[in-house]
Amino acid sequence: MKKVLIATNNKGKAKDFEVLFEPYGIQVMTLNDLEQDIDVEETGTTFEENAVLKAEEVAKQLGIMVISDDSGLEIDALNGAPGVYSARYAGPAKNDDANIDKVLEELQEVPEDERTARFRCVLAIAGPNQETKTFSGSCEGFILNERRGTNGFGYDPIFYTPSKQRAMAELTPAEKGEISHRGAALAQLKEQLPTLMASFGEVQ
């Protein structure tokens, strides 16, 4: 089975990638599967900058093809926040519940029709002596007044998806993959995936 390294320690993201890559017979590995400890500081000001930074640094250290994902939530009423700070919006501890509580508090006085938001994702693929490529996707929705559902991770419990008429956390992994920002980015990637796997090589 072919393997690809996803430059993340986030188990929630890993599950999303497993669902998305499974139809292609590709086994997903993450930084948790490696013996060495690799931690790349996200200093970029955009999702694309952070994705490229992570992919290129891990690929440089390991000498293999790496796919990095940077994603987050943009809320129009908060001028695009939390954006690239989505994972650590309530502090460096990266606590999902604390992040959600902060968003709900900040939107407490915002009417329903002004709570528009989107999940945005950028995938970056890097490898030794190869040009880094990026693919992006987004998913439009609204921020709810309270949590719904127990699936997913991050802001999924408060993100309402009009196309499914449910919160993201109420969707199955397969349903989420159909409409998610990460799924949209992968849809752009998948046509080039076989060629990229061949040119970059794969984890042994």
Q: Kindly calculate the radius of gyration of the chain based on its CA atoms and give it in whole angstroms.
A: 17
Assess contact for 127 and 66: CB atoms under 8 A.
Answer: yes
Beta pairing partners, 126: 66
Q: Has 176 been labeled as part of a binding site?
A: yes
Q: Has 154 been labeled as part of a binding site?
A: yes
Q: Has 102 been labeled as part of a binding site?
A: no
70 is catalytic: yes
Q: Has 153 been labeled as part of a binding site?
A: yes
- Phi, psi for 119 (deg, rounded to 5): -90, 135
Residue with tokens 């997903």: 28
- Annotated active-site residue in 39, 69, 70, 97: 70
Q: Has 155 been labeled as part of a binding site?
A: yes
Q: Has 9 been labeled as part of a binding site?
A: yes
Q: Has 24 been labeled as part of a binding site?
A: no
Q: Has 79 been labeled as part of a binding site?
A: no
Phi-psi region of 68 (alpha: psi -120 to 50; beta: other; left: phi over 0): beta
The Cα 191–Cα 79 span in angstroms is 34
Residue with tokens 């969707």: 171
Q: Tell me the binding residues for Mg(2+).
A: 41, 70
Annotated binding site: 8-13, 41, 70-71, 153-156, 176, 181-182
Catalytic positions, written as ranges: 70
